[in-house]
Structure 1
Amino acid sequence: MISIDPVTLAVTSFAMVATASPFVYYSYKLKKLTTANLASFEEFSTSNNAVPTQHERWRNHYHLGLDCQSKKLVYHRFGSYPEQSIIDLNEVNKVSIQEKSHMIHVGKEKRHILEYLALQFHFKDSSHSPKTVEIYDGELFSDLAGERSIAEKWQRILEKNLKSPI
């Protein structure tokens, strides 16, 4: 039988708790933030008579939802500059992807760096200026985490809903 020194057991236990506590704290904090963001999104949707059936959240910063019945898109951007908006797809003519990028030279190689990515809504009423909803901002995030595919996917979904009858 192996005997364990009580002091060694106490020091080892303390070290394990000290190592695990930041991860537990971050997990708790992230879950609390996610729950608050989701509650805010649902409250805004309900107050605008929209019941989104398709959702997508990414980076704990953006949330899109589509109510296929009433043809309303609900958009939320959280963080330092929050935005909430509802777009009635019955008033939209076309959805396009808006990109802003710049080119840098690294030796003999040229690289395109994406600065901004958004869905842009063009309305049937020409006096109504286009509306953009941000998908990615290079000022906030240093890398892409699938935002281009998210933008393309939602453009296809929204274009399909624009063509379908009411």
Structure 2
Amino acid sequence: MIDIDPVTLIVSAICMGAFIAPLAYQNFKVKSSESLLQKSFLEVAQQNGIQPEIQERWRNHYQLGLDPKCKKLIYHRYGAYPSQSIIDLSGISKITLDEKNHMVQVKKEKRVIIDYLALQFHYKDPNHPTKSLEIYDGELFSDLAGERVLAGNWKTLLEKTIHS
């Protein structure tokens, strides 16, 4: 049988607790932040009579929700410059992707760097200006994390909703 010194056991327990405590605290903080973001998103949706069946949040900075029954889209951008938008899809004629990029050349290799990506809504009424919903901003984030695919998926989903 192995004898364990009580002092060693206590020191080990304290070291493990000191290692786990910051991780547990960070996890708690992230979950409470996400809960507040979701609560604020659903409050705005409820105030406008929208019940989003399809929702997506990415980078804890953007969130989209779609209510296909009433054909309304709700958008939230959190952070330093928050914004909220509600778009009635029954007044939209088409949706396009607005992408701004620049080319970088390193030796013989050329790369396209995306600076900005947004869904752009064109209204049936020609007097109504187009509306853009930011999906990615290169000033805030250093790399893409699937936003191009995400934007394409939402564009397809919204086009189906418009034409149904």
TM-score normalised per structure 2: 0.97
The residue matched to 2:32 in structure 1 has which SS? Answer: helix
User: Which residue in the other structure is 2:85 paired with?
Assistant: 85
CA drift of 1:6 comes to 2.0
Matched, 1:120 2:120: yes
Match of residue 156 from structure 1: 156
Give the aligned partner of residue 145 of structure 1.
145
Pairs within 5 Å for 1:19-58: 19-58=19-58
- 1:65-100 deviation line (CA, Å, top 9, x unaligned): 111111000001111111111000011111011111
- Tell me which amino acid in the other structure corresponds to 2:75: Y
- Return the alpha-carbon distance in structure 2 between the equivalents of residues 154 and 131 of structure 1: 15
TM-score (normalised: structure 1): 0.95
**Distance in structure 1 (CA, Å) of the matches to 2:155 and 2:97:** 7
Question: What is the number of residues matched between the two proteins?
Answer: 164
Structure 1's consecutive aligned runs of 4 or more residues displaced over 2 angstroms after TM superposition are: none
Q: Which one-letter code corresponds to 1:128 in the other structure?
A: H
* Mapped partners of 2:139, 2:5: distance in 1: 53
Cα distance in structure 1, aligned partners of 2:124 and 2:57: 28
How far the C-alpha of 1:7 sits from its partner, in A, is: 2.0
Provide the residue aligned with 2:103 in structure 1.
103
Distance 2:158 2:36 in 1: 27
What secondary structure, in the 3-state scheme, does the structure 2 residue paired with 1:93 have?
strand
> Which position in structure 2 is the counterpart of 1:66?
66
State the distance in 2 between where 1:57 and 1:160 align: 21
